Amino acid sequence: MSVDVAHRGLVLVVEDEAAIADLLRLYLTRDGFGVHVERDGPAGLAAARRLRPVACVLDIALPGLAGTEICRQLRAAGDWTPVIFLTARDDEVDRILGLELGADDYVTKPFSPRELVTRVRTVLRRATGTPDGAERPRRVGAVVLDPARRTVTVAGQPVQLTSTEFDLLAHLMARPGRVYTREELLAGVWGYAAHTGTRTVDVHVAQVRAKLGDTSVIRTHRGVGYAADD
């Protein structure tokens, strides 16, 4: 594949519906990504390990191995490549399960291929970019967040966050004490309108808190939203 076609990096698409896979290949390629497609779970997991893509788009209901299990095995091996799930079911349990496994986003079929490409670009920007207004390390209590290195430590010990979890924490810590509504966090961190569902924010906040442990710096303001301690 020529360099100009794949200058944004390789995206792995694991989707057993040929029409959807071909559509994703078309739109991602047009946007400058290289694309590798697999049709079943075991082949998808092997490709993720072998090819080291910049992002993975995983159908949940795959032959042989579910997309959620692919994500779980990657995360267990320390692979934090951004993952976007595709599913035909808009079920809240599935959504929460996917995010708890370390997925970065979740798209329900039918979907706009242009929106999917936008979401791939967004998770990659979160994985490699520096949040606005947070170039220098920030400390709240025992938690230190370094935007330049994209690292978080608690009492000197490293904490592994997904790119989405990191940017959520960075967004809150950039202005300690400032209370953000869920809609503001969706817009500021995810870049999406509120109609995508604010439950996503709650799930990610719960995951960050669990990883930070007793020193969690995120506070709930009931009926309003969330803030980092000041």
Cα 212 from Cα 153, distance rounded (Å)? 9
Cα 85 from Cα 208, distance rounded (Å)? 20
Are 203 and 93 found together in one domain? Answer: no
**Residue 4 domain-assigned (yes or no):** no
Are 199 and 179 found together in one domain? Answer: yes
Q: Examine the fold and report which residue of 96, 128, 160 is the final residue of a domain before the chain moves on.
A: 128
Which segments of the chain does DSSP mark as H helices, in order? 18-30, 41-51, 67-76, 92-100, 113-128, 163-173, 182-185, 199-212
Q: What are 184's two structure tokens?
A: 């503001």
Per-residue pLDDT of the chain (230 residues; tens, 9 = 90+): 333 334 678 999 999 999 999 999 999 999 999 999 999 999 999 999 999 898 999 999 999 999 999 999 999 898 989 999 998 876 666 666 667 778 888 888 888 899 899 889 888 877 665 444 446 888 888 899 998 888 999 988 999 998 888 989 998 998 888 999 988 888 788 776 544 566 788 888 998 999 998 777 899 998 889 999 87
Are 123 and 61 found together in one domain? Answer: yes
Q: What are 166's two structure tokens?
A: 């990191």
DSSP state of 196: G
Supply the pTM of this predicted model.
0.66
Residues 6+ apart with CB under 8 A from 143: 152, 153, 154, 173, 212, 215, 217
Q: Examine the fold and report which residue of 102, 128, 154 is the final residue of a domain before the chain moves on.
A: 128
